[in-house]
Amino acid sequence: MEVDVRRVIVRKDYPGRKGLVVYRMSRDQRVDDNWALLFAQQLADVKNEGLAVVFTLVPHYPNANRRHFDFMIRGLKQVEKHLAAKNIPFFLLMDEQPMSAFADFIREYDVSAVVSDFDPLRHKQAWNKMIDTIDAIAHYEVDAHNIVPCHFVSRKVEFGAYTLRPKIKRLLPDFLTEFPELHPQTVQMKAHPIDWVGIKTMLSHSENVEPVNWLQSGEEAAKTVLDQFIATKLSHYDEQRNHPEADGQSHLSPYLHFGQIAAQRVALEIIRNAPPGGQEAFLEELIVRRELADNFCYYNPLYDQTGGFPEWAKKDMELHRNDVRLYLYTREELENGETHDPLWNAAQRELTVRGKMHGYLRMYWAKKLLEWTASPEEALQHAIYLNDKYSLDGRDPNGYAGIAWSIGGVHDRAWFPRPVFGKIRYMSLSGCFAKFDVDQYIREHSK
Ligand SMILES: Cc1cc2nc3c(=O)[nH]c(=O)nc-3n(C[C@H](O)[C@H](O)[C@H](O)COP(=O)(O)OP(=O)(O)OC[C@H]3O[C@@H](n4cnc5c(N)ncnc54)[C@H](O)[C@@H]3O)c2cc1C
C-alpha cells in the first residue's frame, strides 16, 4: 500500500536525482507506524537507492532539560535497535546548529531526497525552510503525527472543536486505516556507532530537573501503557477523567509528544479492543482536541503570546488589566508551590515531581496563574515556562493550546464577566470540591 499523497507536502522537487534517501526524524521518534519513514522507504524503492534515518540532537534545545533528554535518549536507543532489525542505518548528529550539521551530512553522503516529519512549532518549521535552501535535493514533509493531516484537513485557524470536528469526521474513513509494514532494506549501508554514554555526558549541562522513573520510555513501553489502559481504565474513562484523585487517564501524552507511539495506532487499537463505554470521550480528546492544537499552532504564529488570543478576549483583557488582584506571586513562589491554595500547590508538586499533572487540574492551575499575577502576559509566560520545564509532555502544541484556552479563551466562548478574568471561563476551588475528592488528591501530592 502506498502512502496517501495527501499526507505529503512537496516542499521542493528534484526529479531524476540519484542518491541516498534520508528520513530526518524529529517529532515522530518511532519505527513502527510512521508515515514519514514509510514514505521515505517508498521513495528509496522507486529510486532503487539506499535509505537512512538521521536524528539531529541539539544540546541546548529550547526549554529541554535532563528530564526530557533522558526520556528521549532512552526512546532513541530503541529506534536504533528497531531500525537495525530492518537493515536501516541510524545516524545521530549532535550540534547546536542542527541544520548546518545536517547540510554537511547531505553533502558527505550524496543525499538526493530528504523526508522531514511535520511539526507546527515555529522553530521546527524554520528548520524545514533551511533544508529547502540546500541545493540539488528534493524535500518532502510528511504528517506522521496527526491522523488526518493538519495541512489538509483545514487551511485556516479553526474557531474551536465544533468547527474542526466535522472536517475531521468527514475524512477519518480515508485516513484512519491500518499501516503497511516497513520492509527490511536490501541495500547495505553502515552508520557510525553512536556513543550513547558520550552523548549523556555532553548533555549533563542541562538544567537539573530529575528524570522520572514511573514511566518507561520507548515504543515498547508505549504499547504496554496503551494495552493496560484499554484493559483496565478505558471503560471508566468518561466518568473518571475529571477525577484527579482516581488516575483514570491513559498517561499516553509523553509517548505521543515524543512520537514513540502513533495517535493513529492508539485510535485503531481503541476501536478494535474497547469494551463498551469510554471510547467516544477518549477518541474526542485523542483526535479532535489533539489535532485542534496542531491546527492552532500551525496557523496562528502567535500561539504562545497574548496576541494569539481571540479578539473578544484581547479587548476584555484591556478592560480588566487594572483590576485589583487579591494575591500576587513571584515565579519562584509559584515554582515552589508556595501559594495560599493547597490544591494548586499539590498540582504544582505533581508537575515538578512526577513530570505530569492531571488534565483536569491543568486547567485550574493555569487559570489561577491568570488570577494571581499582574497581567495576562505574565500569567502566560509563567504557565509556559513551568509547563515546558517540568512536564514530560511539555513543549507541545497541546500545551500552547491548553494554556491559551485557560488564560486567553482560545477555542472557548465568552462567559459571564467577572473581575480580573473578564469573560474568560472561571474555575474555583469550591467547584473542584464539588467535582472530586480534593483532600485525597492533596494528600497524595503533598510534601
Ligand atoms: C493548561 C494546560 C496545559 C496542557 N499542557 C499539555 C502539554 O504540555 N502536553 C500535552 O500533551 N497536553 C497538554 N494539555 C492537554 C491535556 O491536559 C493532556 O494532553 C492530558 O492531560 C495528557 O494526559 P493523558 O495522556 O494521560 O490524557 P488522556 O486523558 O488519557 O488523553 C489521551 C490523549 O488525548 C489528548 N488530549 C487529552 N486532553 C487533551 C486536551 N485538552 N487537548 C489536547 N489534547 C488532549 C492527548 O494527546 C492525550 O495524551 C494541557 C492542557 C491544559 C489545560
Q: What is the pLDDT of residues 245-301, one digit of tens each?
A: 999 999 999 999 999 999 999 999 999 988 766 699 999 999 999 999 999 999 999
**CA of 383: how far to CAs of 304, 327, 330, 411, in Å?**
10, 17, 12, 18
Any ligand 1 atom below 6 A from CB of 414: no
Q: φ and ψ at 23, to 5 degrees? A: -95, 115
Identify the domain containing residue 327 by its residue range: 306-445
Q: Which of 393, 395, 396 to mutate to test the pocket of ligand 1 (most atoms within 8 A of CB)?
A: 393
Angle at 121 between CA 92 and CA 214, to 5 degrees: 65
371 Cα: distance to centroid of ligand 1 (angstroms): 22
Any ligand 1 atom below 6 A from CB of 289: yes
Average pLDDT value for residue range 157-162: 98
50 with 86, same domain: the answer is yes
Does residue 277 fall inside a structural domain?
A: yes
Any ligand 1 atom below 6 A from CB of 151: no
167 with 66, same domain: the answer is no
Q: How far apart are CA 443 and CA 319, in angstroms?
A: 39
CATH, residue 53: 3.40.50.620
* Boundary residue ending a domain (283, 299, 315): 299
270 with 314, same domain: the answer is no
**Residues 6 or more apart from 397 whose CB is under 8 A from it?**
120, 121, 293, 294, 296, 297, 303
372 with 409, same domain: the answer is yes
Q: φ and ψ at 119, to 5 degrees? A: -150, 125
Q: φ and ψ at 262, to 5 degrees? A: -85, 135
CATH, residue 288: 1.25.40.80
Does residue 336 fall inside a structural domain?
A: yes
**CA of 329: how far to CAs of 351, 373, 377, 428, in Å?**
18, 6, 14, 18
Task: Give the single-character DSSP code of 261.
Answer: S
Does residue 63 fall inside a structural domain?
A: yes
Any ligand 1 atom below 6 A from CB of 160: no
Does residue 192 fall inside a structural domain?
A: no
Does residue 206 fall inside a structural domain?
A: no
169 with 114, same domain: the answer is no
Does residue 437 fall inside a structural domain?
A: yes
389 with 310, same domain: the answer is yes
Give residue 277's pLDDT: 67
15 with 136, same domain: the answer is yes
64 with 9, same domain: the answer is yes
Does residue 64 fall inside a structural domain?
A: yes
User: In 10 A of CB 210, how many CB atoms?
Assistant: 13
Residue 417 has pLDDT above 70, yes or no: yes
Any ligand 1 atom below 6 A from CB of 241: yes
- Residue located nearest, by CA, to atom 10 of ligand 1: 398
The 3-state DSSP class for residue 139 equals: strand
Write out pLDDT tens, residues 369-393.
Answer: 999 999 999 999 999 999 999 999 9
Joined grid coordinates for residue 412: 472557548
293 with 357, same domain: the answer is no
420 with 396, same domain: the answer is yes
Query: What pTM did the predictor assign?
Result: 0.98
Give residue 309's pLDDT: 98
295 with 330, same domain: the answer is no
Of how many residues is the chain composed? 447
196 Cα: distance to centroid of ligand 1 (angstroms): 31
Any ligand 1 atom below 6 A from CB of 259: no
Q: Which of 237, 251, 285 to mutate to test the pocket of ligand 1 (most atoms within 8 A of CB)?
A: 285
327 with 369, same domain: the answer is yes
Does residue 190 fall inside a structural domain?
A: no
Number of domains in the chain: 3
109 Cα: distance to centroid of ligand 1 (angstroms): 40
